């Protein structure tokens, strides 16, 4: 029976191949039937001599397909060998496979790797380790760890060819890795001109520099831990050195190196005294953070803008934080030359006497814009305490504080207050308690201090609990400062 089926099938195969050699669909039928025969009987039948061989379709690389790691020597990683050449070769393979722009999974299998200064210059490369990456364990044989101690500039960097480029790279990401670089300087991760990228499930041990986002768009950082951070942990920046979409010089609204839409989620760090948690500067717009926490360090959130731009529209704008915690930093929130900062359900604690202000807002290089640019601070349902001088110090316009607690200020005894309005107009303080928290002894402070340059302040239902003085009104226009339903001295 088997021999009969073999003869009939083989005859049909040969007739189709001989009679329809010029037709692609019959050439493929020849291959399919031949494969079936081989599978059933262990015999491979070929088409008659002179037949046209079928043309195989091109192999399209899959984004999820791991890149060939044969360039890595056997037995690697071993924790001591420099794996930089083999990791760079995997990255280069991802960028060049199939002759397309790039894209692929560079999988770092479990073990302790040692590499540095890896540079990625194409779209869609995903560097992924195993394990959760962001745990607090110093070592774990079932996960991926990377020693970056020998880095010169970065551990992993994504940057386009001919930077600054006309267009951003797309889809760069790093995930599931534990980094070590306690002996080095430089950044662990550097994303330059990247769109739709992310980094998540990562931990870093004593990094001199954590992550930089430069000229990115719609980028997210989530579930990241930095232990013993020594430098800037998250730097978010932009400038006008790139190109407009038409290839010409940048404009404010069209530039490949300005930063737009950065999302921060579930970031925690324990820092040394020299560390800055989040540093936002220059053309960086719309930064949203949720569940961010930092202990100790030099600053919690720092916002600046270099001088020399036409106006405040070229400076950081729209910074929104929810459940933002900074404990015992020297300068928990330091805002300079910015537009529109919001903090909802935050916990901001200074380091006591060394902290001048827990939250400071001012314009340093620029004047208030006639178009509304500049200033704008809203603090809601927030606890603020622990400053040598006034806990909140503001020189900008449009400050609103509501439903909050502000206490433990003026520790240096310099006649400061919970909130000091040094300038600006259109301020609101509503349903906020000053000077004393339940179970905490009050300091010798005033609730609200209005200086000569401030005006138009509406204060509603303040609670001056344990304050030496409630409101101190030194405004040049004292009649513009009003209080309704205040309680306390």
- Quote the strand ranges of 232-316, DSSP E: 232-238, 259-271, 276-282, 284-295, 299-304
Cβ atoms within 10 Å of 131's Cβ, excluding its own: 18
Split at pLDDT 50, 70, 90, the class of 369 is confident
Range 75-85 average pLDDT: 92
Distance CA 18, CA 45 (A): 13
What residue has token string 């079936």?
36
Average pLDDT rounded to a whole number, residues 354-369: 95
Q: How much is the average pLDDT of 198-224? A: 96
Burial classification of residue 467, based on how many CB atoms lie within 10 Å of its CB (0-12 exposed, 13-18 middle, 19 or more buried): buried
Residues 196-224, mean pLDDT to the nearest whole number: 96
pLDDT of residue 442: 74
The string of pLDDT tens digits covering residues 380-390 is 999 999 999 99
- 258 close to 216: Cβ distance less than 8 angstroms: no
The reported pLDDT for the residue numbered 139 is: 64
Confidence band of 47 (pLDDT split at 50, 70, 90): very low
* Tokens of residue 178, six digits: 């534990």
List the alpha helices (DSSP H) in 50-203: 84-96
Over range 171-179, report the average pLDDT.
95
At residue 11, the pLDDT reads 39
pLDDT range class, residue 102, cuts 50, 70, 90: low
Confidence of residue 236 (pLDDT cuts 50, 70, 90): very high
Residue 17 has pLDDT above 60, yes or no: no
For 425-474, the pLDDT digits (tens) are 999 999 999 998 766 767 789 999 999 999 999 999 999 998 999 999 99
Which range among 103-107, 334-338, 395-399 shows the weakest confidence by mean pLDDT? 103-107
**Is residue 77 helix, strand or coil?**
coil
Cα gap 322→200, rounded to integer Å:
19
Averaged pLDDT for residues 207-235: 96
Please give the share of the chain, as a percent, with pLDDT higher than 90: 70
Higher-confidence position of 38 and 279: 279
Q: What is the pTM of this model?
A: 0.85
Q: Does the pLDDT at position 48 exceed 50?
A: no
Which pLDDT does position 146 carry in this prediction?
Answer: 94
Average pLDDT over residues 357-372: 92
Q: What's the pLDDT score for residue 136?
A: 67
Over range 190-202, report the average pLDDT: 97
Please state, rounded to an integer, the average pLDDT across all residues of the chain. Answer: 85
pLDDT tens digit sequence for 52-71: 444 444 444 444 444 455 56
251-265 mean pLDDT: 96
The DSSP 8-state label assigned to residue 171 in this structure reads -
Q: What is the pLDDT of residues 333-352, one digit of tens each?
A: 999 999 999 999 999 999 99
Q: How far is 378 from 364, CA to CA, in rounded Å?
A: 20
């Amino acid at each position: 029976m088997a021999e009969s089926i073999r003869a009939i099938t083989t005859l049909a195969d040969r007739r189709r191949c001989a009679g329809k050699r010029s037709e692609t669909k019959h050439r493929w039928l020849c291959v399919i039937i031949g494969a079936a025969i081989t599978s059933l009987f262990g015999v491979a039948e070929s088409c008659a001599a002179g037949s046209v061989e079928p043309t195989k379709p091109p192999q399209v690389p899959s984004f999820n397909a791991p890149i060939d790691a044969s360039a890595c020597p056997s037995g690697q990683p071993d924790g001591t060998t420099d794996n930089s050449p083999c990791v760079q070769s995997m990255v280069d393979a991802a960028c060049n496979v199939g002759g397309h722009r790039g894209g692929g999974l560079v999988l770092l299998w479990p073990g302790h790797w040692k590499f540095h200064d890896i540079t990625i210059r194409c779209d869609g490369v995903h560097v992924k380790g195993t394990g959760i990456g962001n745990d607090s364990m110093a070592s774990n044989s079932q996960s991926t760890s990377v020693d970056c101690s020998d880095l010169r500039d970065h551990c992993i960097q994504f940057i386009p060819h001919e930077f600054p480029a006309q267009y951003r790279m797309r889809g760069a990401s790093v995930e599931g890795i534990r980094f070590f670089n306690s002996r080095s300087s430089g950044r662990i991760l550097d994303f330059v001109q990247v769109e739709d990228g992310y980094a998540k499930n990562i931990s870093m041990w004593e990094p001199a520099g954590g992550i930089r986002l430069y000229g990115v768009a719609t980028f997210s950082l989530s579930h990241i831990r930095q232990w013993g951070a020594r430098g800037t942990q998250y730097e978010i920046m932009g400038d006008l050195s790139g190109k407009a979409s038409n290839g010409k010089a940048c404009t404010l609204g069209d530039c490949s190196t300005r930063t737009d839409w950065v999302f921060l989620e579930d970031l925690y760090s324990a820092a040394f005294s020299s560390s800055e948690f989040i540093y936002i500067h220059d053309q960086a717009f719309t930064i949203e953070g949720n569940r961010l926490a930092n202990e100790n360090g030099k600053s919690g959130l720092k916002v600046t803008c270099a001088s020399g731009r036409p106006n405040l529209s070229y400076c950081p704008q729209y910074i929104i934080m929810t459940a933002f915690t900074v404990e015992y930093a020297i300068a928990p929130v330091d805002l300079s030359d910015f537009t529109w900062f919001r903090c909802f359900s935050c916990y901001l604690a200074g380091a006591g006497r060394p902290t001048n202000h827990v939250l400071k807002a001012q314009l340093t290089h620029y004047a208030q814009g006639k178009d509304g640019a500049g200033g704008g601070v809203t603090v809601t349902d927030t606890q603020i305490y622990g400053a040598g001088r006034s806990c909140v110090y503001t020189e900008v316009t449009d400050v609103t504080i509501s439903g909050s607690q502000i206490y433990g200020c003026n520790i240096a005894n310099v006649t400061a207050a919970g909130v000091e309005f040094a300038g600006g107009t259109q301020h609101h303080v509503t349903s906020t308690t000053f000077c004393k928290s339940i179970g905490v002894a009050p300091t010798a402070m005033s609730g609200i201090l209005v200086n000569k340059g401030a005006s138009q302040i509406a204060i509603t239902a303040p609670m001056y609990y344990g304050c030496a003085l409630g409101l101190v009104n030194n405004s040049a226009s004292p009649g513009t400062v009003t209080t309704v339903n205040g309680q306390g001295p």
